[in-house]
Amino acid sequence: MKFYQLSPEDRIKTLVGDDLLSPEDASALLTFRGLDDDIANNLIENQIGQFALPMGIVRNLAVNGRNYQVLMATEEPSVIAAANNGARIARLNGFVVASAPKRRLVTGEIVFGADSDQDADRIAQILRLNQDKIKAIADQAHPSILSYGGGLVEWQIECLRQAQPRGQVQVRERVQTWPREQAQPYEQIQGKSQLGGKYFVKLALHINTGDAMGANIVNTICEAVASASGSWVGRKALVAILTNRVDESQTVKASLEINPKTLKTKDLDGPSLARRIEKLSNLAFCDYDRAVTHNKGIMNGITASALATGNDTRALESAAHSYAAREGVYRPLSEWTVNEKGNLEGRLHMPLSLGTVGGATDSLPMAALAKRVSGAKSVGQFQCLLAALGLVQNLAALRALAGPGIQQGHMALHARSLAMAAGAQGAEISLVSNRLQDGDKSLERAKQILESVRARKNTETGETGKTGKKSEKGENNRNSEKGRKGE
């Protein structure tokens, strides 16, 4: 039997047999029934219960010459199946090539309100003159990260003005002031008073957080620097917090070259599919509606794996979509082209705000297990893995759209969800979902099929279906022809 045809228990046994899962992790998966009460109660506020999602696996995603096992938590049918299909195609063509920044920086911002251009100039100048103090305060605020090369790396000043109409922002200048050798002279800008609006001075801190996602580290440092710098400039900072925007220098890249023969489907040859995928990619660059859904397909896999590993999916999504709109127009995060050899080339370029240590990645048992199973040893390695996952997830979706369409496969898997929503349990789920494959796939029809399945079962067993008691007639005639009717 194929892996997806096995029971969950047999899938786990297979992974253990292939040395992809330790016996201890296998036991944890088989016995896990939710978080301990203490963990659940202390992880969030006002905790009253738990919310469960199924967790599945993408097997043998080949990245940079190595196969990885990726756990994903999602409620959406077909996402994991599509990711496995994309991973299979990637293996047929070698592996996904991916790269991440050697040094991961997370940015925090400390913003002061200013009364005028002149006031903004004054605040910026004071901050610039205190650059050595800023570095020292940042180091003192979170000294533990210094031991592994982390901490404040550089910082910048930006003088901002809210221009009219509301929402348009004029960046007056950006002055980099740390490290000292990169400092630029501070210059006054002429004609500033002609635009009107509101004035701000932003101190942006770029902090190496190591393998941690870094929100708490950055916020701690920002608040310490804000407290001290407020006394220098004579006013309290308006805000001191990280930004979920990721700088261009911190983005992750993944690429894959595909022989079109490995793309062919039952009804369409590989080269034709490759050209149609290229057309779909081109469409996403000129059609806003398509671009949004194109990127949603990429995030299907990335977000599911981030959730399984205890990462902040909201930070991940906000960074990705802000990057897609960085040029003022929403663009796709990946591009597919047919090269001069006739091969299909896919390239993905995006931010991935992730961590592999700290927070929920360690405190949630299944998140810690998912990290172990992945085998990623650093945040950079994990970023490469998820970039590759996003690319093959995108490939599988575009291949389906360019070929038979997504509904044929998606709705076949969705039938199981409909069966469960109708109330099917145990063996009933397969019986109802199989009958749903032909005809209308709706909740109402699923309920009708379930009623029919249970009525048939009651006839065969002689049970009433309401009380669970056996009828006298059914009991007396269970070996008769009438009692076997419907088998």
12 found inside a domain: no
9 in any annotated domain: no
Are 432 and 324 part of one and the same domain?
no
Among 375, 405, 435, identify where a domain stops.
Answer: 405
CATH code at 438?
Answer: 1.10.8
Q: Is residue 49 part of a domain?
A: no
Contact 265, 402 (CB under 8 A): no
Considering 224, 242, 260, which residue would you say is the last residue of a domain? 242
Taking a C-beta distance cutoff of 8 angstroms, is the pair 362, 311 a contact?
no
Q: In what order do the strands lie in the sheet with 344-350?
A: 97-99, 252-258, 344-350, 334-338
In a shared domain, residues 117 and 204: yes
Secondary structure letter of residue 463 according to DSSP: B
Please report how many Cα atoms fall inside a 13 Å half-sphere around the Cα of residue 296, on the Cβ side. 7
- pLDDT of amino acid 429: 86
What does each C-alpha distance from 472 to 453, 462, 478, 483 come to in angstroms? 22, 8, 10, 12
- Note whether residue 157 is domain-resident: yes
Residue 451: active-site member: no
Of 210, 242, 274, the residue that ends a domain is: 242
Q: Is 228 in the same domain as 261?
A: no
* 377, 454: one domain: no
- Same domain for 381 and 359, yes or no, is yes
Same domain? 351 vs 433: no
Rounded distance between C-alpha atoms, residue 478 and residue 476, angstroms: 6
Domain range spanning residue 204? 105-162+197-242
Q: What is the CATH number of the domain that holds 227?
A: 3.30.70.420
49 Cβ contact partners less than 8 Å away, ≥ 6 residues apart: none
Residues sharing a CB contact under 8 Å with residue 194, sequence separation 6 or more, in sequence order: none
In the DSSP assignment, the letter for residue 311 is -
Q: Residue 168: its pLDDT value, please?
A: 56
Mean pLDDT by 10 residues, the chain (487 residues): 94 96 96 93 94 96 98 95 98 99 95 94 96 95 91 95 61 50 37 53 96 94 98 96 95 99 94 98 98 98 98 97 96 98 98 93 94 95 98 97 74 77 87 83 87 84 50 38 34
Does one domain contain both 301 and 357?
yes
Cα(65)–Cα(68) distance, integer angstroms = 10
Clarify whether 76 is annotated catalytic.
yes
Task: Please check whether residues 150 and 128 belong to one and the same domain.
Answer: yes
Residue 212's SS3 state is strand
In 3D space, the residue among 139, 137, 166 whose CA is nearest the CA of residue 150 turns out to be 139
Length of the chain: 487
Q: Per the domain annotation, does 21 fall within a domain? A: no
Instruction: For residue 181, indicate whether it is catalytic.
Output: no
Alpha carbon 363 to its chain's center: 19
Q: Please, are residues 53 and 307 in contact by the beta-carbon 8 Å criterion?
A: yes
- In total, how many domains does the chain have? 3
* 258 occurs within a structural domain: yes
CATH of the domain at 364: 3.90.770.10
Exactly one of 18, 24, 37, 76 is catalytic; which is it? 76
| DSSP track, 232-260 | HHTS--SEEEE-S---GGG-EEEEEEE-G
349 an active-site residue? Answer: no
* Calpha distance 484→487 (Å, rounded): 6
Q: Which of 375, 242, 218 is nearest to 314 (CA)?
A: 242
Q: Do both 384 and 310 map to the same domain?
A: yes
Q: Are residues 236 and 377 in the same domain?
A: no
Question: Which of 451, 483, 480, 481 lies closest to 470 in space, CA to CA?
Answer: 483
- Which of 296, 341, 377, 469 does the annotation list as catalytic? 296
The catalytic position among 133, 410, 414, 447 is: 410
Query: Which DSSP category does 108 fall into?
Result: E
The pLDDT value given to residue 431: 87
What does the pLDDT read at residue 196?
A: 36
Catalytic residue selected from 117, 211, 312, 317? 312
Residue 257 in any domain: the answer is yes
User: Given this model, what pLDDT does residue 187 score?
Assistant: 37
Q: Which residues are registered as beta bridge partners of 161?
A: 170, 199
User: Is residue 281 domain-shared with residue 383, that is, in the same domain?
Assistant: yes
Residue 301's nearest CA partner among 94, 129, 80 is 80
State residue 454's pLDDT score.
86
Report how far residue 86's alpha carbon sits from residue 89's, in angstroms, rounded to the nearest whole number.
5
Question: Is there a single domain that holds both residue 401 and residue 420?
Answer: no
Tell me what pLDDT residue 444 has. Answer: 87
Contacts 24+ apart (CB under 8 A), 129-136: 130/229, 130/232, 131/155, 131/177, 131/178, 131/180, 131/183, 133/228, 134/178, 134/203, 134/205, 134/225, 134/228, 134/229, 135/178
The answer to whether residue 272 is domain-embedded is yes
CA end-to-end span of the chain, whole Å? 26
